[in-house]
Amino acid sequence: MKELEELNLPEDLSYSIDHVWVQNQGEKARLGITDFAQDQLGEIVFVELPETDDAFNQGEAFCTVESLKTVVEVYIPIGGTIVTVNNELEDSPELVNNDPYEQGWLVEITPTDRAALGSLMKKDEYLEMLKGSD
C-alpha cells in the first residue's frame, strides 16, 4: 500500500468522499477512481461499466470494480447521464491501476446540475480526509 505522501492526486481534479475523481470538461465531466482507491483495491481484474444514456442520481452506484481481493461498487459523486464509457477497460482493466487519471478513466457524463461540481473536494481537502481516516 502506498503511503499518503506517495499518492498521485492531480491539482486540477475534484474528489469525492467515495474516492472518485471528477474532471470538469465544460459540457461534460470525466470520472474515475483515485490513486488511493486503486491502490487499496489491488490488482483490478474486471470493471463493469454502465451503458451510455443510463442516468444516475448523486450517490448511486454506477460501476462495479473487481480486484483479486474484493468487489466494490463505485458511487457517482454528481448526478448525470452517461455519455461515453471507457471501452478499453473491457479487455484491459489493469489500466485503472496503472494510469487511474488518464487511460484508466471510467465514464464521461453530462451533469444534471453543474453546480454540484462545486460541492466536491479539492486535492488538499481530499488528502486531509484521507489523513483523518488513516
Binding site for another protein (CB under 8 A): 45-46, 48, 64, 68-71
Strand, coil or helix: 59: coil
> Which residue number, 3 or 53, has a Cβ lying nearer to another protein?
53
Q: Is the Cβ of residue 23 or residue 40 nearer to another protein in the bound state?
A: 40
- To another protein, the closest distance from the beta carbon of 65 in angstroms equals 11
Q: Which three cell numbers stand for residue 120?
A: 466536491
CB of 77 to another protein, least distance (A): 22
User: What does the alpha-carbon distance between residue 113 and residue 65 come to, in Å, rounded to a whole number?
Assistant: 26
- Listing DSSP states for 34-56 in one string gives -HHHHHHH-SEEEEE---TT-EE
**CB of 64 vs another protein, minimal distance in Å:** 6
Q: Give least dist CB 71 to another protein, A.
A: 6
Q: Is the Cβ of residue 65 or residue 121 nearer to another protein in the bound state? A: 65
Pure H helices in the chain: 35-41, 88-91, 95-98, 123-133
Cβ-based nearer residue to another protein, 42 or 59: 42
Q: Are 8 and 99 in contact (CB under 8 A)?
A: no
